[in-house]
C-alpha cells in the first residue's frame, strides 16, 4: 500500500481534458525527436551523411532516452511528476534551438542525445499520471488517447517537412517546433497536474522487478512494437527514395498520410483491449503487423504503397494493450519504475539498433531486406504474449 498523497482515480470522461493535455506534451517531445526522419534526405545531402550514419542518429537518441528514463525515478521523487515534465520539455526546446545552427554530424548527435534524455524523463511520468488519475476499467481508453501522440507526430512530421521546405529551409522548421515546446513548458509552470512524486529506484524494488518474467517479456514485446513503428518509420523516407525511386517530397507525403489511419486504430485497439484483454490484443496485433512489415520490404509499385498504409495502422494498435499490460505486471508503487526501464530498453533495441542496422544493411545489401527480417521477428511476438503474467487485484496507489 502506498503512503504517498495520490490523486483519486476518476472516470475517463471526467479526466478527458487532463489526458488530452498530457497527450499534447507527449506529442511535442515525440515530434521533436522524430522530425529528423523526414528531414534525413535533406540533411544528409546538406551535411554529407551516409545511410549508416543517418541511422546511428536514432541510436544516439535511444541511448539518451534510456539514460533519462532510468534516472527519471530519482528526478520525479524529488520534484514530482509535474516538475519532471517541465524540466523535460524545457531541455527539448533548448536542444532544438541548438539544431538550428548545427553544421556537423557531431552536433546532430549531441542534440539528439539531449532530446533523448529529456524525452526519457517524460514518458514514465505521463504514464504514471494517467494510470493514477483514471479508474482501472478505463485504462485502455485513456492510454489509447495517450498513444495518439506518436501517430500524430508521425503524420504531421513528414507533412510539415513537405510544406515548410517549399518556402524555408529545415533549420526554420526546427526553430518553430522549439518555440511551441517552450510555450508548453510555460503552461506546465502554472498547472497542477501530476503534483505527486514518483518513486526513486531502490535495490529492493529493482530486485523485485528484475525477478519478474513478464518484465523481460515486455522488453522483447515492446522492442517489436517500437521497432515496427519507429524503427521502420525512421528509415522509410530514405528507403523509398534510394531503393524505390520516389522523390523526397512524394516519399514524405506518402509516409505522412499513411500514418493517419493509426489515429483511429488506437481507439479500436483500446476497445479490443478492454473487451478481450491485454494478452490477446498484443498477440493479435503483433501477428498482423509483422506479416505486413515483412511484405513492406519485399513489394514494389502499387502493392508497396498498400503496405505503407497498412503497416503503421496495425503496429500502432500494439501500444494501448502494451502499456496496459505494463501497468499490470507490478503494483502501482512499482509502476513508474517498471515503465522507466521497459520502454527505454525496448527503444534502444527497436528504435535505435534497428534503424542503425537498416542503414548499414542498406549499404551492404538493401534496406528492404532489413525491413523483411524485422517483420519476421515481429511475428514471433504472437506466442510470447501469452506467457505474460498480469495482476488482477491491484492495490491503491500511484
pLDDT at 395: 64
Cα torsion angle, 134, 135, 141, 143, sign: positive
Cβ–Cβ < 8 Å for 97, 74: no
- Per-residue model confidence as pLDDT tens digits over 130-148: 888 888 888 878 888 887 8
**Helix 232-242 / helix 51-100 crossing angle, nearest 10 deg:** 110
Q: Which residues of 56-95 are buried (b: 16+ CB within 10 A; e: fewer)?
A: bbbbbbbbbbbbbbbbbbebbbeebbbbbbbbbbbbbbbb
Looking at the predicted structure, is the pLDDT value of residue 397 above 70? no
Looking at the predicted structure, is the pLDDT value of residue 334 above 80? no
How many helices and strands, by DSSP H and E, does the chain display? 19, 0
Looking at the predicted structure, is the pLDDT value of residue 386 above 80? yes
Of 335 and 233, the structure prediction assigns the larger pLDDT to 233
Place of cell 520502454: 343
What one-character-per-residue DSSP string does 17-57 give? Answer: HHHHHHHHHHHHHHHHHHTHHHHHHHHHHHHT--HHHHHHH
- Per-residue model confidence as pLDDT tens digits over 82-115: 999 999 999 999 999 988 887 788 888 899 999 9
Mean pLDDT of 344-348: 88
Q: What is the mean pLDDT of the chain?
A: 87
* In 167-259, alpha helices (H): 170-190, 203-210, 213-226, 232-242, 248-258
Looking at the predicted structure, is the pLDDT value of residue 398 above 60? no
Mean pLDDT of 368-383: 94
Q: What region does 154 belong to: left with phi over 0, alpha with psi -120 to 50, or beta? A: alpha
pLDDT at 1: 44
pLDDT at 24: 93
- Per-residue model confidence as pLDDT tens digits over 172-217: 999 999 999 999 999 988 888 888 887 777 777 778 888 889 999 9
Any idea what the Cα angle at residue 128 is, between residues 127 and 130, rounded to 5°? 65
Q: What are phi and psi of 10, to 5 degrees?
A: -125, 180
Mean pLDDT of 300-310: 92
- The CATH superfamily holding the domain 16-387 is MFS general substrate transporter like domains (1.20.1250.20)
Cβ–Cβ < 8 Å for 255, 38: yes
- Per-residue model confidence as pLDDT tens digits over 266-291: 788 988 988 899 999 999 999 999 99
| Full-model pTM | 0.76
pLDDT at 3: 55
Looking at the predicted structure, is the pLDDT value of residue 314 above 70? yes
Q: What percent of the chain has pLDDT over 90?
A: 35
- Per-residue model confidence as pLDDT tens digits over 3-59: 557 778 888 888 899 899 999 999 999 899 888 888 887 887 788 887 778 778 888
Q: Which residues of 258-270 are buried (b: 16+ CB within 10 A; e: fewer)?
A: bbbbbbebbbebb
DSSP state letter for 326: H
Any idea what the Cα angle at residue 26 is, between residues 24 and 32, rounded to 5°? 100
What DSSP element (H or E) covers 115?
helix 105-133
Instruction: Report residue 212 CA to chain centroid gap.
Output: 23
Amino acid at each position: 500500500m502506498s503512503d504517498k498523497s495520490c490523486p483519486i482515480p476518476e472516470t475517463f470522461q471526467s479526466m478527458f481534458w487532463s489526458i488530452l493535455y498530457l497527450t499534447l506534451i507527449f506529442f511535442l517531445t515525440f515530434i521533436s525527436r522524430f522530425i529528423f526522419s523526414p528531414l534525413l534526405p535533406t540533411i544528409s545531402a546538406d551535411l554529407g551523411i551516409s545511410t549508416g550514419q543517418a541511422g546511428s542518429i536514432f541510436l544516439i537518441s535511444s541511448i539518451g532516452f534510456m539514460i533519462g528514463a532510468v534516472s527519471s525515478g530519482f528526478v520525479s521523487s524529488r520534484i514530482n511528476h509535474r516538475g519532471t515534465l517541465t524540466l523535460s520539455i524545457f531541455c527539448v526546446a533548448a536542444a532544438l534551438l541548438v539544431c538550428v545552427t548545427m553544421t556537423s554530424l557531431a552536433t546532430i548527435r549531441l542534440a539528439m542525445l539531449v532530446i533523448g534524455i529529456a524525452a526519457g524523463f517524460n514518458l514514465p511520468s505521463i504514464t504514471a499520471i494517467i494510470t493514477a488519475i483514471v479508474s482501472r476499467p478505463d485504462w485502455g481508453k485513456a492510454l489509447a488517447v495517450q498513444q495518439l501522440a506518436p501517430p500524430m507526430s508521425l503524420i504531421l512530421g513528414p507533412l510539415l517537412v513537405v510544406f515548410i521546405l517549399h518556402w524555408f529551409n529545415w533549420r526554420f522548421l526546427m526553430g518553430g517546433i522549439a518555440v511551441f515546446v517552450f510555450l508548453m513548458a510555460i503552461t506546465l509552470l502554472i498547472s497542477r497536474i501530476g503534483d505527486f512524486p514518483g518513486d526513486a529506484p531502490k535495490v529492493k524494488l529493482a530486485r523485485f522487478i528484475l525477478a519478474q518474467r513478464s518484465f523481460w517479456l515486455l522488453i522483447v514485446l515492446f522492442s517489436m512494437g517500437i521497432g515496427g513503428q519507429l524503427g521502420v518509420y525512421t528509415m522509410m523516407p530514405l528507403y523509398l527514395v534510394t531503393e524505390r525511386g520516389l522523390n523526397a517530397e512524394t516519399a514524405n507525403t506518402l509516409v505522412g498520410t499513411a500514418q493517419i489511419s493509426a489515429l483511429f486504430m488506437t481507439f479500436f485497439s483500446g476497445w479490443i483491449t478492454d473487451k478481450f484483454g491485454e494478452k490477446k490484443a498484443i498477440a493479435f496485433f503483433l501477428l498482423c503487423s509483422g506479416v505486413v512489415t515483412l511484405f513492406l520490404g519485399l513489394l514494389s509499385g502499387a502493392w508497396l504503397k498498400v503496405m505503407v498504409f497498412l503497416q503503421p495502422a496495425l503496429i500502432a494498435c500494439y501500444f494501448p494493450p502494451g502499456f496496459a499490460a505494463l501497468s499490470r505486471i507490478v503494483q502501482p508503487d512499482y509502476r513508474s519504475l517498471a515503465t522507466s526501464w521497459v520502454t527505454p530498453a525496448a527503444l534502444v533495441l527497436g528504435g535505435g539498433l534497428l534503424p542503425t542496422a537498416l542503414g548499414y544493411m542498406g549499404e551492404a545489401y538493401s534496406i528492404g531486406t532489413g525491413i523483411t527480417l524485422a517483420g519476421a521477428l515481429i511475428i514471433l511476438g504472437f506466442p510470447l504474449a501469452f506467457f505474460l503474467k498480469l495482476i488482477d487485484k491491484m492495490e491503491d496507489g500511484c
